Amino acid sequence: MTTEAPQNEPKTIRLDAADNVIVALEAIPPGRKIAAEGLTTIDPVPSGHKVATQAIARGAAVRKFNQTIGFATADIAPGQHVHTDNCGFKEFEREYAYGEAAMDTDFLPEKDTATFPGYRRTNGAIGTRNYIGILTSVNCSATVARHIAETVNRSGVLDTYPGVDGVVAFVHGTGCCLDANDEGFANLQRTLWGYARHANFAGVLMVGLGCEVNQIPLFLDLYGLKHSETFHTLIMQDTGGTRKTIAAGVERIEAMLPIANACVREPVPVAALTVALQCGGSDGYSGITANPAMGAAVDLLVRHGGTAILSETPEIYGAEHLLTRRAASRDVGEKLIERIHWWEDYTKRNGGVMDNNPTPGNKAGGLTTILEKSLGAASKGGTTNLMGVYKYAQPIDTTGFVFMDSPGYDPCSITGQVASGANLVCFSTGRGSAFGFKPSPSIKLATNTAMFKRLEEDMDINCGSIADGTKTVEEMGREIFDFLIQVAGGQPSKSEEFGYGDNEFIPWQIGTVM
């Protein structure tokens, strides 16, 4: 990767010798010479955008990362800005080569014994935070759940229990008029089950209305959940309505507070960390700086015995062949491709297209097609073997690098990852996403220095140092890994300091609503 340039020559990056585009590291006006490439710019090229380094005929592949990121929709000359007006998406065959690049795990470095102060729950799970959560079976109980949380949080009682991170209501807009046998209902139930047993909760209260499809008693029977001093349920129609349910809920929460406050951090292995990997508000730097640096941190985590969850299936579309090559078995690789085919069918039957992504903000930041965006997004997963592929909110039952199916919509995707067991979130952004996620703390990685300086109060780490030439991907990965451990041990992230995370709980709604 080239970042240096002669004095007064525009700064650019060539990612691979086989590429026919380079990336501008600063805004480049027309008529500027790039001597290393033997070309002069024809158009204005914004920072993070692409410049053609050779003639690309209409219909020919545009290559970046030594991969196809799109196809020329017009003849492109050397020095021309390559973007949506001359580069587009189309389907093409990819060789999945299941397991071809999988590593022999015997050659992985021996797992270290690093620790962090975490909460060891009675079931053996490890938490990084100590919340009390209020879950809702249906949107009809959402207002009551919010009132319970607000009443407790505003009462001042939490001042007596400094070991409790807060009381949070997780409300949603579904739970009734669903087909109890379809995918959407299964998604919701897996999500609620995952939160009900999440290690970042010291206690949970579930509130329902009573007549909804998503019945609490049936839910408890299905998942084997039992009432206890730290798990309670209330049904409004049985309790006597809004005010009585709020009062009963506050009473149940106040009874759990001393128990939650008695939980203390103790040294636990870094292997207990399960990190949700996300990118949002991506730009042309994402696949060059923050995402590969996150991947380097993931490699370190996996080699400590931890787990990392890559998701956002529409945002690995066009890069899935790089993941199947790393599959630990053919079965794992085929599960990923089955999910890809599901999404192709899903978008088709709903009148959509897989290239509906990137967003306008992504495009303004230099991303042209879903192929380009996906290649950058997939690099968050590092280089170790793909150990498993899971449905949305399905419990992760293996360690290492895994994939969980989800939409690319960040709050919805992370909701599923946390339900699957993520006790930390690592989130890269190039445009500047304002985001946090309770109960799992969220770490924000900036892809470029200019955005980091504008939004420093929201960003935890500046990965723009890679493009600036002051740090390598590996050095940045180590910094991210070390910060993950600090945050897991209690250091608040920027999004936690601002109180983000109360509005991001969004279970994936699909299927029939009657």
> What digits encode the pLDDT tens for the residues 97-140?
999 999 987 656 655 678 999 999 999 999 999 999 999 999 99
Mean pLDDT for the stretch of residues 315-322? 96
- Residue 119 domain-assigned? no
The CATH code of the domain that includes 79 is 2.30.130.110
Which residue's structure tokens are 């990118």? Answer: 279
Residue 3 has pLDDT above 80, yes or no: no
Mean pLDDT for the stretch of residues 170-175? 97
pLDDT band for position 355 (cuts 50, 70, 90) = confident
Which residue's structure tokens are 């999945």? Answer: 96
Residue 147 has pLDDT above 80, yes or no: yes
Q: Are residues 306 and 257 in the same domain?
A: no
- Residue 148 domain-assigned? yes
What are the structure tokens assigned to 444, written together? 């924000």
Average pLDDT, the chain: 95
Residue 490 has pLDDT above 90, yes or no: yes
* Predicted local confidence at residue 479, as pLDDT: 98
Angle ∠(260,265,267) on CA atoms, nearest 5? 150
Angle ∠(195,313,446) on CA atoms, nearest 5? 80
- Residue 421 domain-assigned? yes
Which range marks the domain in which residue 493 is found? Answer: 276-311+356-497
Mean pLDDT for the stretch of residues 405-412? 96
Q: Are residues 415 and 287 in the same domain?
A: yes
* Inter-CA distances, 380 with 275, 315, 403, 427, Å: 11, 11, 11, 10
Q: Are residues 237 and 287 in the same domain?
A: no
Q: Are residues 256 and 143 in the same domain?
A: yes
Q: Quickly count: other Cβ atoms within 10 Å of residue 14's Cβ.
A: 17
Mean pLDDT for the stretch of residues 393-416? 97
Residue 331 has pLDDT above 90, yes or no: yes
* Predicted local confidence at residue 4, as pLDDT: 52
Q: Are residues 402 and 254 in the same domain?
A: no
The residue from 205, 236, 262 where one domain ends is: 262
Q: Are residues 291 and 438 in the same domain?
A: yes
Residue 199 has pLDDT above 70, yes or no: yes
- Residue 176 domain-assigned? yes
d(CA 492, CA 266): 18
Pick the more confident residue, 358 or 445: 445
d(CA 343, CA 406): 10
- Residue 184 domain-assigned? yes
Q: Are residues 162 and 212 in the same domain?
A: yes
* Predicted local confidence at residue 292, as pLDDT: 98
> Quick one: DSSP state of residue 268?
E
* Predicted local confidence at residue 514, as pLDDT: 85
- DSSP readout, 3-55? ----TTSPPEE---TT-SEEEESS-B-TT-EEGGGTEE--S-B-TT-EEESS-
For residue 445, the cross-strand partners are 428, 461
Where do runs of H (alpha helix) occur along 36-162?
142-155
Closest CA to 169 of 188, 150, 156: 150
Mapping DSSP to helix (H, G, I), strand (E, B) and coil, where does residue 87 land? strand
**Consecutive H or E run containing 235:** strand 231-235
Q: Are residues 32 and 142 in the same domain?
A: no
Residue 63 has pLDDT above 90, yes or no: yes
Mean pLDDT for the stretch of residues 212-230? 96
The residue from 197, 229, 262 where one domain ends is: 262
- Residue 121 domain-assigned? no
Q: Are residues 286 and 375 in the same domain?
A: yes
pLDDT in tens, 15-26: 999 999 999 999
The CATH code of the domain that includes 205 is 3.40.1400
Mean pLDDT for the stretch of residues 52-58? 98
* Predicted local confidence at residue 358, as pLDDT: 87
* Predicted local confidence at residue 112, as pLDDT: 63
Q: Which residues contact 444 (CB under 8 A, 6 or more apart)?
A: 427, 428, 429, 433, 435, 458, 459, 460, 461, 493, 494, 495
Q: Are residues 46 and 142 in the same domain?
A: no
Q: Are residues 302 and 425 in the same domain?
A: yes
Q: Are strands 424-429 and 274-279 parallel, antiparallel or unpaired?
A: parallel
Choose the weakest-confidence range: 72-76, 88-92, 138-142.
Answer: 88-92
Which residue's structure tokens are 């897989």? Answer: 354
pTM: 0.96
Q: Are residues 173 and 76 in the same domain?
A: no
* Predicted local confidence at residue 434, as pLDDT: 87
* Predicted local confidence at residue 106, as pLDDT: 60
Write the Ramachandran bin of 395: left for phi over 0, alpha for psi from -120 to 50, otherwise beta.
Answer: beta
Count of structural domains, the chain: 3
- Residue 202 domain-assigned? yes
Mean pLDDT for the stretch of residues 229-240? 98
Share of the chain above pLDDT 70, in %: 97
pLDDT band for position 513 (cuts 50, 70, 90) = confident
- Residue 282 domain-assigned? yes
